[in-house]
Amino acid sequence: MSLKIRLARGGAKKRPYYRIVVADSRSPRDGRFIEKIGTFDPLKPKDAADRFVLDVEKAKAWLAKGAQPTDRVARFLDSLDLVKRAARNNPEKAVPGKKAQERAAAAAKAAEAAEAPAE
């Protein structure tokens, strides 16, 4: 059984509230879970003490048993120095698409052609 430490959404429409839970990876996001180990309220200010609440001892115990945190939960655990989260980098994300590159090349060619007869 593969265990995940993940967020389970609660709250009303457009008013999210999350429980940090340990669940079987096959169960639904808001469905059955094994244990609730914390909460996260994204609507509170970032400096609010109760925005992110976690039972650190329970989290350590579940990590020792092999539970894998999701990326968002790993960020929280990294801020508490429980898990080391590797920084992600996607240099391809900033590269324009094929059509945009073709348009840029055509614009550069047109600008070059416009300058050539002026000389």
| Residue 73 and residue 6 in contact, taking contact as beta carbons nearer than 8 Å | yes
pLDDT band at 114 (very low <50, low <70, confident <90, very high): confident
Mean pLDDT over 40-64 rounds to 93
Instruction: State pTM to two decimals.
Output: 0.71
Helix (H, G, I), strand (E, B) or coil at 65: coil
Q: Which of 77, 51, 53, 76 has the alpha carbon at shortest distance from 64?
A: 77
Tokens of 35: 């244990």
Domain ranges of the chain: 3-79
More confident residue, 114 or 1: 114
pLDDT tens figures, 67-106: 999 999 999 999 888 888 887 788 888 888 999 999 999 9
pLDDT for 116 beyond 80:
no
- pLDDT of 83: 87
pLDDT tens figures, 10-38: 999 999 999 999 999 999 888 889 999 99
| Residue 38 and residue 52 in contact, taking contact as beta carbons nearer than 8 Å | yes
| Residue 18 and residue 52 in contact, taking contact as beta carbons nearer than 8 Å | no
Q: CA 12, CA 102: separation in Å to the nearest integer? A: 46
Q: What is the CATH number of domain 3-79?
A: 3.30.1320.10
Q: Which long-range contacts (CB under 8 A, 24 or more apart) does 51-55 make?
A: 52/76, 54/20, 54/80
